[in-house]
Amino acid sequence: MTETGKHIMPSDFETLYIRLREQEGRIYSDEELAQLPEISRSHSHYEEWRIRKDSSQKLITYLKKKNKQLDILEIGCGNGWLSRKLSTIQDSKVIGTDINFTEIQQAARVFQNVLNLHFMYVHVEAGVFKEKKFDCIVFAASVQYFSSLSDTVKKTLRLLKPGGEIHILDSHFYSLDDISEAKHRSVLYYESAGFPEMAAYYFHHSLNELHDFNYSILYDPKNLLNKFIPNKNPFYWICIKV
């Protein structure tokens, strides 16, 4: 199910984002989407999907251990592949949201027969969930598109049930000393790709921004036990509780 306006025009961000993803080879056919995160070893983004498969499996295993019905919200779900995987958790009810009309349409089309899964073309900060509360809210490869991580977390915490959790995965976190150089690399990347405007929509966050929240690191790529693992997952997995 999708909820959209009849005459919604794509934002500048959405237009640029889709054009860039097309150029990068990250727009998938319906058939490919239905199989994600499984993808051919010959695909140019096979390694990326290997990592995202690892992240998703860890998250789903974690949530299954709660042994209860879960209301789950994924913010910035894109084409909906992870929301679909989350919907396989027994008795779960999953909503995926995004401001990317192209991919959210595809998600609704490809996964239309999954009864406990719904997609919405909406900005969560618009206050659409005034009554609805969630057990789990997921940001997967999406927090980098929010200018203030702390403000985003504050607003999202209001959507949680007592005992609820926010999970952040598949996004880079930088030390304060590294942010300036990371921003510079992003500018160079977008300029070389022909989309210099995208640099204004991509943000570089630090764990310091979570200082005021009750958070824990469930996976730390810099932990000594993980540091020397070949082909390791390079992303933190962060859990924030009410």
pLDDT, tens digit (0-9, with 9 covering 90-100), for 10-48: 468 899 999 999 999 999 999 999 999 999 999 999 999
Buried b (16+ CB within 10 A) or exposed e, 193-208: eebeebbebbbbbbbe
- Those residues whose C-beta lies under 8 Å from the C-beta of residue 100, and which sit 6 or more positions away, are 14, 17, 18, 78
Q: Is there a contact between 25 and 105 (Cβ–Cβ < 8 Å)?
A: no
d(CA 80, CA 13): 19
> What CATH number corresponds to the domain at position 101?
3.40.50.150
Is the residue at 2 inside a domain?
A: no
Q: What value, to the nearest 5°, has the Cα angle with vertex 135 and ends 119 and 222?
A: 95
Around Cβ 68, how many Cβ atoms within 10 Å?
10
User: How many structural domains does the chain have?
Assistant: 1
Query: Rounded to two decimals, what is the model's pTM?
Result: 0.93
1: in domain: no
pLDDT per position as a tens digit, 43-80: 999 999 999 999 999 999 999 999 999 999 999 999 99
Domain residues for 89?
A: 12-241
